Amino acid sequence: MSARILDGRAVAAQIREELRAEVGSLVSRGRRPGLGVVLAGDDPASAAYVRGKTRACEELGLYSETARLPADVSTQAVLDRIADFNRRDDVHGVLVQLPLPAQVDAERAVSSVAPGKDVDGFLPENVGLLVRKRTRFAPCTPAGIMQLLARSGIAVAGRRAVVLGRSDIVGKPMAMLLLHADATVTCCHSRTPDLESVTREADVLVAAVGRPGLVTAAHVKAGAVVIDVGMNRIQDPALAERLLVPERRERFAERGEALVGDVCFPEVREVAGAITPVPGGVGPLTIAMLLHNTVRAAG
């Protein structure tokens, strides 16, 4: 029997609907939540992500403003725009869209966001609060995954969780949130020996490595919950044949490309108990939690 499909779009819609009432209450008190975004360069994927975030803000009634900077922008110019957002009372959350152009010091830029406006949850102060279970802002993707699990009736307390990936954005905070939820957590990475034997111990497996189709049925325990964080654009017909279900293969043949995760979906869904698709799984939750953090910052 195929795995239950965990619908991230539906859960994200629930979260947004709950936020709508909070936004209405804040607006009635003259405090409309505002998000400032710094977008530098001409990366098409970054521009698309920002458009999606802006549209989501508008739909929920938040104010949003994007500072668009040229590809040859200096680090100081980026810092100046962030400082402007930090000072303003109508901007409650500040987001620096990555990647920044190569000549910009990205670490310095991200670190210059005011801690109380760091709705991405990336600053050392906010990471420290997360570690101590006094979370101000949890990074949006891991926080969205926790919402998906909870709202799908999937308990993690007392269960074995394996996080595949150790990035500061997803892997490490994901492991911490699962630990806070009383899971027993293992974090794997490129140097983990005999990876399959480790991931097969997981009741909950989170894949966040950025390698299309890395996780196969051999990595997954029967009945496990598999959360696919990967967002990989493929154009190779051989990969498409392996990683796409038949209906998506037809669209691939028309378009010549497709978005896939880190999990070999057609294979793993026959083993797992529940699985997130790509697209439509984790992605919508990331934006929903960005809205959540911005509303919280304004509250």
Kind and range of the H or E element at 66? strand 63-69
Q: Closest by alpha carbon to 83, among 109, 50, 49?
A: 109
The question of whether 117 is a catalytic residue gets the answer no
Q: Which residues pair with 258 in a beta bridge?
A: 234
147 is catalytic: no
Q: Looking at 53, 117, 172, 221, which residue is catalytic? A: 53
- Strand, helix or coil for residue 109: helix
What share of residues in the chain are helix, strand, coil (percent, to 5)? 45, 15, 40
In terms of C-beta density within 10 A (0-12 exposed, 13-18 middle, 19 or more buried), how is residue 132 classed? exposed
Is 120 an annotated catalytic residue? yes
Q: What is the DSSP letter of 116?
A: G
Set 97, 118, 147, 172: catalytic member: 97
Instruction: Name the active-site residue from 117, 118, 120, 221.
Output: 120
242 contacts: CB under 8 Å, gap ≥ 6: 213, 264, 266
CA distances in angstroms from 150 to 8, 117, 257, 274, 275, listed in the order given = 12, 26, 33, 13, 14
Residues marked as catalytic: 53, 97, 120
